[in-house]
Amino acid sequence: MQLDTTEPLGALARRALGFVKDDTVVGLGAGRAATAFVRVLAARVRDGFRVRGVPVSEATAELAEELGIPLVGLEAEIDVTVDGADEVDPDLNLIKGYGGALLRERVVAAASRRQVILVERDKLVPRLGSRGRLPVEVVPFALPLCRRRLAALGLGPALRTAGERPFVTDNGNVILDCVVGSIADPPGLERALRAVPGVVDTGLFLGTADTVLVADGTSVSEWSRHR
């Protein structure tokens, strides 16, 4: 499938290439925007650009291998990770995990010198939680306990399914999609969630993004975190 670079995702992907240096290691994200980037990056690789990728999901790994991007593991120093997000607030805090790859996305981001996030304008929110959903990854053994504890926090956890079966992450875990409204204290909620035995990770990515590229049609703007 050819990527139409005149569309918003194509415009984002091409802009993101400017953050990738020759002969470096790149974290390859998951989701529609990250997939667009993988396709554009693969075209550069075919033209002789030397990069190796660290994928955040099995699906991303399969796509990258199919398109000819060499892959390595976390033993490599990752220069930049390019990924998507489901919400971005004005401080560049994120909610991620609608696609189910949140744990590996966090690990790869933490191993990277820089995280670049690609979103369309509809992902921008005034406060995290505005879209009403927060994924939480949990160990299957602890699912009943996690459900009770998250319900006690007022989060209305629902087990994510794939057809008639529970959705299983690449790590063998399950996801509880929690009902949230505008989150007044994201760091406090993060601490409360991580205190629940069996919670492996949450969709709250606070302070991880260095740069967010935002597509409004085919126009792309750049937001950077002030450090």
- Catalytic residue numbers, as ranges: 105
For residue 213, what are its two tokens? 């590229």
Task: Tell me the C-alpha distance between 50 and 9, whole Å.
Answer: 23
98 Cβ contact list (under 8 Å, min separation 6): 31, 86, 133, 135, 203
What are the phi and psi torsion angles at 192 (to 5°)? -65, -40
Instruction: Give the alpha-carbon dihedral of 67, 45, 205, 119, to 10 degrees.
Output: -80
Give whole-number Cα distances, 188 to 19, 81, 153, 185, 194, in Å: 33, 27, 12, 5, 10
No. of helices (H) and no. of strands (E), the chain: 6, 15
Task: Tell me the C-alpha distance between 31 and 55, whole Å.
Answer: 12
Task: Tell me the C-alpha distance between 81 and 104, whole Å.
Answer: 12
| 161 alpha-carbon distance from chain centroid | 19
